[in-house]
Structure 1
Amino acid sequence: MDYKRLLTQVERTLAQIEGSENRRLTIEQIAETIAGNFRDELGITGGRVYECDDDGNYVLVGRFGVSRGGPLGIIVPRDYRPIELVLENGVVVMDPTDPGVDPVLEQQLGARRFAAVAAGDENPHVIGFDVSPELSREDILFSLSLIRYAVNQRLRAERFESLIVEAQRIQQSILPQRVPQYAGFDIWGKTVPAEIVSGDFYDFIPITDSVLGLAIADGSGHGLPAALVVRDIYMGLRMATDRDFKIIRTMEKLNHIIHRGRLTTKFVSLFYGELETGGILIYTNAGHNYPFVLKKHKFEALANGGPVLGPTPDATYTRGFVKLDAGDLLCLYSDGIVEAHDRSDREFGLDRLKRLVKTNRDRSAKEIGAEVLYRVARWARRSEDDRTVVIVKAVP
């Protein structure tokens, strides 16, 4: 038998199954599909699905194919030798006469032979199969190993998809849904993720009628870990502003939160500032790309602060001040903007970003930000990193 070709066919067939949030239902669908589509190739006519209960024992929760037997709900002790072996080895084939097999229990379950696989990485389900009596033990083991591999690949793919969906949900829930209307300023921001889920984050936080919080952050990595650490930043900033923390204390608190976290993403750059209606911006910068203010005749980098959040629990931070006069423009950006590479491996670079912003300074904040994202996208040979830009323009 060409097991490689058969494995490909099984994987393609299982990929067509519509996933479910309930792992047991997915496993039952998988088992039914295998029995219905590969009966001749694998010698499988039906079987049973067992689920681990709160006591660690296994309960008969479903049947598939032409399986027969006693009522659902039969409990198989975890120390039943065939269960021990399938959990230990992933696959097992045992006959009624083998040591440790209880023929009476197997008859209740409707099994002539205990042929089973463990499905799932944590508290696995056990899928027992009714196999053709003509098959040798070696053929059965080959079939079971193939099935186990295909089933676990399908379950892991579904798990990954659910993590991505959860990460997207988290990110969509925390990114600003609208641009704030703030007297005397034209404001716009956007994140373009490199993958389905971004490690970048920006926020506008109304603190009072006369103070608006501005934040931009970049968590190392992508996917769910990055989304979770960004969520921690979002919640930490909101909590700090609700409690009227000063920005230095806010940054120190966030640093402790990230440092104590158990996620693989433990390095986060963050710029946070509080903009008053009069144009005064008080800020601190935790290792983020220096935002800049374009004034009438010069650029001013916002560099005061300290190291990135996470690595050092006792990191200290300083604050800085800048005044946005009418016509001045503040640009916040992530490293995906300035570190984008073209086909010749040249970076887009900070100087090019500054020239672009200066050239377009008379346009609206949205038009400037959109132009930056457009030019970077044209420059880059591919999307290697998340890209975020926030423009704050002091209007006359």
Structure 2
Amino acid sequence: MGLAASRAPAGAGMIDYHKTYRSLEKALESIEEKGERSSTLAGILEAIVAGPGESLGITGGRLYAADPDRAHYRLEHTVGRSGRARPGFTVSTDYRPIQRLLQEGFLLMEEDDPDFDASIEGRVGARRFAAITVGKDGRHFIAFTLGEPIDPVRAVYLLGTIRHVINLRLTQEHLLHDLAEARQIQLSLLPEGPPDFFNFDIAARSVPADDVGGDLFDYPLQTPKNLGVVIADSCGHGLPAALMARDVITGLRVALDVQYRLTTAVERVNRVVAKSALASRFISLFYAEFEPSGNLVYCNAGHPPGLLWRAGRITRLKRGGMVLGPNPRARYERGFEKFPPGSTLLLYTDGITEAVSPAGKFFGAGRLERLLRETRHLPAETIVERVFAAVDQWSPTPRADDQTVFVIRRP
């Protein structure tokens, strides 16, 4: 009989749903993703039959996958009692139990059911079985051989729980796979090390709050006469923020490659962000170009101001315009500064200044400026380390936002 037609009587509440759920979760904890969906499902099937399966009355299990034309389901893996059938055995999608299974999502069948075909089920050694579809695409289903008759109400709860736990696991693995890919994208955009530009001393570090962050830094322009550096911070963090930051850095590289003026390049990237599928998001950006002579030109698109130490004082570099994204027609302006020997530029994202102490106070730009005064004479890498150490001491809890520090010195 189809499980969708069953109704739970008053006594159904005695079924320990949570205990069953926990036992299934525990059985699947050791199962690692195998890359291929079928391999992962085979491991899950083995864990269920060998673990909580016995207490659920399961004596064997089979994993089926649809052929490309969806005309047959092919047996891919067996566990426990599975009769004479071997991987490769096929069942037509015209078989009525399969049609019922695909329609309802799960099925319980005894040999006295009119749709039960003994010639098919005898091959897999089943006189009664339960089956569930797994995943969202209908490509796989799992069938369990049942040793004894099972109460239909109990079957509803048990099969529903098994199906939910498996689908939750598959969804989790899919998300982790997407995150891993996004992480690889992000890492591919981060430079391996600073460029060699005369005697400039350069260091940077980015630490995401999640597996994937929305902060990025880069050196999009490197010529014998110019060095371009950029730091960007996409609103929020995680996968959407990382994808947005990726698009901005890539767009800036392309714009500079065709020799657009600094502000023209930023304006073109802004229009791309405003028209993107993630137009509800925005991103701040600070871009600067250095010349060997010490000239510095920059554009600050809604980013925390760069801190320039020069001749005994700190100058906040604010000139530019609004964040990228909200207004596709926004205009941006350049800022000009001198960067003589002894100067240090500290760039950062708001995850640094907005790190919160246990007392609920921000780290703040003032503390960052004092830290720059104290460390300005040190190597760039040491300054970066000191900033992160100070922030970690101030805010010992897990990071609530991505954090990036970028230091350029001219000894």
TM-score normalized by structure 2? 0.86
- 2:272, 2:71 → 1: CA distance? 39
Residues 141, 226 of structure 1: CA spacing in aligned structure 2 closer, same or farther, 3 A cutoff?
same
Q: Does 1:353 align with 2:368?
A: yes
Residues 45, 339 of structure 1: CA spacing in aligned structure 2 closer, same or farther, 3 A cutoff?
same
**Equivalent position amino acid for 1:155 in 2:** L
- 2:84, 2:327 → 1: CA distance? 61
- 2:360, 2:222 → 1: CA distance? 43
RMSD (CA atoms): 2.6
Q: In the TM superposition, what whole-angstrom CA distance separates every residue of 1:93-148 from its partner, at most 9, and x where no partner exists?
A: 24466576666655566654462112123445211222234212222222211211
Deviation at 1:167, TM superposition (A): 2.8
Question: 1:15 pairs with 6, 12, 29, which one?
Answer: 29
Q: Does 1:196 align with 2:203?
A: no
Give the 5 Å matches for 1:1-396.
2-65=16-79, 66-68=81-83, 70=85, 72=88, 74-77=90-93, 82-95=97-110, 106=121, 111-113=126-128, 115-263=130-278, 266-382=281-397, 383-395=399-411
- 2:33, 2:224 → 1: CA distance? 48
- 1:217, 1:116 → 2: CA distance? 50
> 2:8 — aligned with what?
none
Q: Is the 8 A contact 2:236 2:401 kept in 1?
A: no
Residues 99, 317 of structure 1: CA spacing in aligned structure 2 closer, same or farther, 3 A cutoff?
farther
**Equivalent position amino acid for 1:76 in 2:** S
Q: In the TM superposition, what whole-angstrom CA distance separates every residue of 1:19-66 from its partner, at most 9, and x where no partner exists?
A: 211111110111122122233211112232222444345522313222
Q: Is the 8 A contact 1:368 1:391 kept in 2?
A: yes
Q: Does 271-280 or 209-218 show the bigger shift?
A: 271-280
- 2:154, 2:279 → 1: CA distance? 42
SS at the partner of 2:55?
helix
Deviation at 1:275, TM superposition (A): 1.6
- Aligned-pair identity in percent equals 37
Q: In the TM superposition, what whole-angstrom CA distance separates every residue of 1:150-175 from its partner, at most 9, and x where no partner exists?
A: 21222223223323322332222221
Residues 125, 250 of structure 1: CA spacing in aligned structure 2 closer, same or farther, 3 A cutoff?
farther
> 2:5 — aligned with what?
none
SS at the partner of 1:38?
coil
Residues 306, 73 of structure 1: CA spacing in aligned structure 2 closer, same or farther, 3 A cutoff?
farther
Q: Does 305-314 or 145-154 show the bigger shift?
A: 305-314
Q: Is the 8 A contact 1:164 1:196 kept in 2?
A: yes
**Equivalent position amino acid for 1:145 in 2:** G
Which consecutive unaligned segments of at least 5 residues does structure 2 have?
1-14
- 2:325, 2:352 → 1: CA distance? 23
SS at the partner of 2:197?
coil
Q: Is the 8 A contact 1:334 1:387 kept in 2?
A: yes
How many residue pairs match? The answer is 394
Which consecutive unaligned segments of at least 5 residues does structure 1 have?
none
